[in-house]
Amino acid sequence: MRAVLVFLSAVFLLAAGTFWWLKFEHHAPQVSLPVAVEVLGRKTPIDIDVHTDAPGLRAVTVRLQAGGVNFELLNETYPASSWRGSGLAEKRVHVETDLLPLKVPEGPATLEVFAESYAWHVLPPAHAPRLSRPVTVRLTPPKVELLTTQHNIRLGGMDVAVFRQSPEAVRSGIEVDKYFFPAVTGYFADPAIALAFFAIPQDLTADVRPRLIASDAAGNQRAIYLPCNIKPRRFAERTLALDDDFLTRKVPEIEHDNGLPIAADLLKGYLFINGDLRRQNEARIRELTANSVSEPLWDGAFQRQPNAAPLSSFADRRTYTYHGEVIDQQTHLGYDLASLKLSPVAAAQNGIVVYADNLGIYGNSVILDHGIGIFTLYGHLSSIAVQPGEHVKTGQTLGQTGESGLAGGDHLHFSVMLRGVHVDPVEWWDPHWLHDRVTAKLTMFPRAAAASAPEHDHEQARPSDATPPR
């Protein structure tokens, strides 16, 4: 009997010890910030990683201590799923609380994170934060003052806004629906004055309302609508009939030049090229034109390809037919200009070569950076005479016309782009438009001291933001 009691006691002690071991907190919950937070704006997002032992988390509380007052930003509890606890060992907590309704004062503050687990303790744990970080609360957005007045723009055209912004602004520019055109800072002698080229892209309507936006490091944003008169426009509609000879010549050639799989069906191959490859090419162009030299390199109006007649104009709406049936519709972004076969292609203005190679539907292409976001594209070339990084002058030969890419005959495809967004070249060919809409605004205030022009490096952006969203 005594042996049985000893055995049962041992079993009980072992079970109790095991139970205690499973419930005991061997390590306090660990809390970390995957992204450092130094400044909190009105709705600054905060991610917090919490890790604890096997029993799992019971609760996480996030609060801000500011001005002697504790402001609770988040309080989450996690119910037990078994006798052991919640079993939740890893948790990423996302906080995005609006500080303005809480009346959190601006200035120094402390971000605190408390974490409790379902574990047992020998002594009650102290109610102390598992993480404590000093932060600065900033709820006032940057100030902006528009310095240009009425902006008169055609659909598919562009303009320049000049504005003054307070030093807190770290990102600013013009938002036009789904597009964002970043500001250029440091152009004028007064560092508070910035400029932003912006377009009214051809795929929008004249009802769009451009906004000047400035944001600080805490994400606080100021937005004001630009006074804009946008002239609506009807773009030309064209129908292009495809035949078997064109498909036989072009589809395998483009597939080969772009490393595409060979389509068994030529028509399906063409539709992929005219749609998917076209979109890939435009995405590549946006990458190539995201960064730009911070100085205007042009000198006067852009030059049109000499002795060339237009085959199509900007933003033509094209309908493609095959054996009399409509098979596709696309927008042609640029001008097609034709002269004699294999004619020299001249640079429209001074610039720096950022691309000189095959570019899908555009075939052999050259892209020039003319500074502060303005680029030109020369497509369908039969040969290329320049190299990336090369500085070229107005009229310098870039190559020869041809029919590479998705071209049905020898001609030049010419585009003017604002950070990858195609705009109407006619404006840039017009010296009066250039003087009134661009030059006059670039000379509104004294320029900053001109630095010696470095070799162009397209991996180093000088504008405040390099990529317009699409």
Reduce the DSSP state of residue 247 to 3 states and report it: helix
From the number of C-beta atoms within 10 Å of its C-beta (0-12, 13-18, 19+), residue 417 rates as: buried
DSSP state of 246: H
> What are the structure tokens assigned to 118, written together?
């379902």
**237-429 maps to CATH 2.30.110.10:** no
pLDDT, tens digit (0-9, with 9 covering 90-100), for 355-414: 999 999 999 999 999 999 999 999 999 999 999 999 999 999 999 999 999 998 999 999
Mention every residue, 6+ apart, whose C-beta is less than 8 A from residue 13.
none
Nearest to 422 by CA among 347, 330, 341: 330
Chain-centre distance for alpha carbon 432: 32
- Count CB atoms within 10 A of the CB of residue 121: 11
pLDDT, tens digit (0-9, with 9 covering 90-100), for 126-176: 678 989 999 999 999 999 999 999 999 999 999 999 999 999 999 999 999
- Count CB atoms within 10 A of the CB of residue 331: 14
Interatomic CA distance for residues 310 and 288, integer angstroms: 27
Average pLDDT over residues 2-16: 55
125 pLDDT band (50/70/90 cuts)?
low
Report the b/e string of 15-45 with b at 16+ CB within 10 A. eeeeeeeebebeebbebeeeeebeebbbbbe
Mention every residue, 6+ apart, whose C-beta is less than 8 A from residue 21.
none
87 pLDDT band (50/70/90 cuts)?
confident
Number of H helices, E strands in the chain: 8, 30
Phi, psi (5° rounding) for residue 121?
Answer: -135, 150
**Rg of the chain's alpha carbons, rounded to an integer?**
31
**2-137 maps to CATH 3.40.630.40:** no
- Under a CB-based contact definition with an 8 Å cutoff, are residues 360 and 254 in contact? yes
Give the rounded percent of residues in the chain with a pLDDT score beyond 90: 78
Average pLDDT value over all residues in the chain: 89
> What are the structure tokens assigned to 428, written together?
């840039």
Interatomic CA distance for residues 128 and 61, integer angstroms: 11
> What are the structure tokens assigned to 443, written together?
């000379």
* Per-domain residue ranges of the chain: 2-137, 144-231, 237-429
- Provide the pLDDT for residue 13: 52
pLDDT, tens digit (0-9, with 9 covering 90-100), for 316-353: 999 999 999 999 999 999 999 998 899 999 999 999 99
Average pLDDT over residues 229-257: 95
Interatomic CA distance for residues 443 and 187, integer angstroms: 10
- Between 50-59, 75-84, 350-359, 449-458, the lowest mean confidence (pLDDT) is in 449-458
Tell me the CATH number for domain 144-231.
Answer: 2.60.40.10
Interatomic CA distance for residues 62 and 211, integer angstroms: 35
- Provide the pLDDT for residue 449: 81
Average pLDDT over residues 426-453: 88
